[in-house]
A = this chain, B = another copy of it.
């Protein structure tokens, strides 16, 4: 009885990296859009077609999943949308404007405003568990530090007025985070735009007016 169309058996492929990555991706998306508590693992499984065993294997508990999301998706996202632009710009002020502009543009493109992933998770999880709070705080601090460092460099090079770099950086990060919260609540990019405009009027971020 030859020539059996051997396509019977449900061929399973072992792809640990891929499966894990897809899980983290899906979790990142879902946590950002719906939040941590409002996302059921069942949703993730169904969305991906992965089984409970696979999920359990890679992430014994939901907690482990969100920790991976923070480390492997949220932190890189902040790095990409904020730290890199700031570091690569000519001045911190310019970098901040670039980053704000890019995000505002993106919000305008896509209809729905989901808010900042870091902020969303921070507000929901920071109060719950020290194990969550610590990595979140760390991301905020790296972000802050990157802006502050750039600003200090600018000041040394005469490209920024004297000011407490840490304070200025904190305001920038806070303004962005808060603006995103308002943008999410009002479903409009306007708060972001308003903040972007006003930040150019901040003493510590104004190009030293020569004359």
Give me the interface of A with B, judged by CB distance under 8 Å.
Answer: 33-35, 37-38, 114-115, 119-120, 122-124, 126-128, 133, 136-137, 140-141, 163-164, 166-168, 170-171, 173-179, 181-182, 184-187, 190-191, 194-195, 197-199, 201-204
Contacts and interface: CB of A to CB of B under 8 A. Distances in A.
Copies in the complex: 4
Contact of A178 (B167, B173, B186, B199): B173
Contacts of A34: 127-128
B185 A137 contact: yes
Contact of A164 (B133, B182, B197): B197
A38 B168 CA distance: 34
Given A166-B194, A171-B195, A178-B176, A126 B184 contact: yes
Contacts of A187: 126, 133, 137
Given A168-B198, A202-B202, A181 B178 contact: yes
